Copies of this chain bind each other. A is one copy, B any other.
Amino acid sequence: MITINIIGFGNVATHLISHINTLEDYTIQAIYSRSKNTTQNLPIVNDINKLRSADITLISVTDDAIAELSARLPYQNSLIAHTSGTVSIDEITHERRGVFYPLQTFSKQKEVDFSEIPLCLEATNSKDYALLENLALKLTKKVYSISSLQRKKIHITAVFVCNFVNHLFTIGKDIADENDIPFEIFMPLIQETVNKIKTLDPAQAQTGPAIRNDFLTIEQHLLQISNNNYKNIYKLLSNSIIQHGKKL
């Protein structure tokens, strides 16, 4: 039986706990939370000094608390891994350190299908990597070896394909609302935009006035956008599509 300590009880920790709890060969030895007590049958510990060493310790707290909490763990010589997308593996002060990063946006209320979530792993030696990989493969089919540098780039990419994409949805909804157009009308189009890149390179899937060099439509659109921010975004993204198209 492999023992696991979980440090933290936030969104990611909550999802990890509920899924690890279902695994046969793993047991959650302790969950460290300063403030929480649950009525569920979970081994919560409020004093970090009372934690005993476990085979794997997963630190799942806010980015800026990882270094401090790893330093305060009252044991050495076991594997300590954090679950952050941005923090370097070296912020963990222990010799045996790792990263166990699920690439997904979590909300506490919303159930996720963990088996579809990519887990990005890193460790300082191959034995510890195998320890993380064995656990990861019990949770998901999608396990990747990702260096700290790659993880930084993943975070930047996620800002483009998730955070910025969502902001374009926000802009779309603003324009739709202004013109009494129900936003739901765009959902099939949005879903198809995603479906296309499952089989096509996004650059190949590009449609719209910019990739056609249809400057007349672009000019007409710009005249009709009243919000200056949105107008600038329209210009910059159209130019970028045109530039990118020239390289194809």
Interface residues in chain A, defined as those with a beta carbon under 8 Å from any beta carbon in chain B: 86, 103-105, 112, 116-118, 120, 142, 144, 146, 149-150, 152-173, 175-176, 178-182, 185-194, 196-198, 201-203, 205-211, 217, 221, 224-225, 229-230, 232-234, 236-237, 239-241, 243-244
| Set B142, B162, B179: member contacting A185, Cβ < 8 A | B142
Q: Closest Cβ of chain B: how far from A206's Cβ, in Å?
A: 6
- Which B residues are CB-close (under 8 A) to A197? 166, 169, 190
**Copies of this chain, count:** 2
Q: A158-B189, A161-B193 are in contact. List 6 more A-B contacts (CB 8 A).
A: A103-B189, A156-B225, A158-B186, A171-B240, A229-B240, A233-B240
User: Binding site of A, secondary structure by majority: helix, strand, loop or mixed?
Assistant: helix
- Interchain CB contact under 8 A, B104 and A188: yes
A166-B207, A232-B236 as given contacts; A175 in contact with B156, CB under 8 Å = yes
Closest-by-CB residue of B relative to A192 is B105
CA distance A230 to B191 in the complex (A): 24
- Which B residues are CB-close (under 8 A) to A188? 103-104, 116-118, 142
Closest-by-CB residue of B relative to A173 is B202
- Interchain CB contact under 8 A, B163 and A241: yes
CA distance A240 to B173 in the complex (A): 14
CA distance A23 to B101 in the complex (A): 52
CA distance A150 to B104 in the complex (A): 36
Q: Closest Cβ of chain B: how far from A214's Cβ, in Å?
A: 9
| Set B157, B169, B202, B224: member contacting A181, Cβ < 8 A | B157
Closest-by-CB residue of B relative to A167 is B241
- Which B residues are CB-close (under 8 A) to A179? 149-150, 153
- Interchain CB contact under 8 A, B161 and A168: yes
- Interchain CB contact under 8 A, A190 and B207: no
CA distance A164 to B237 in the complex (A): 7
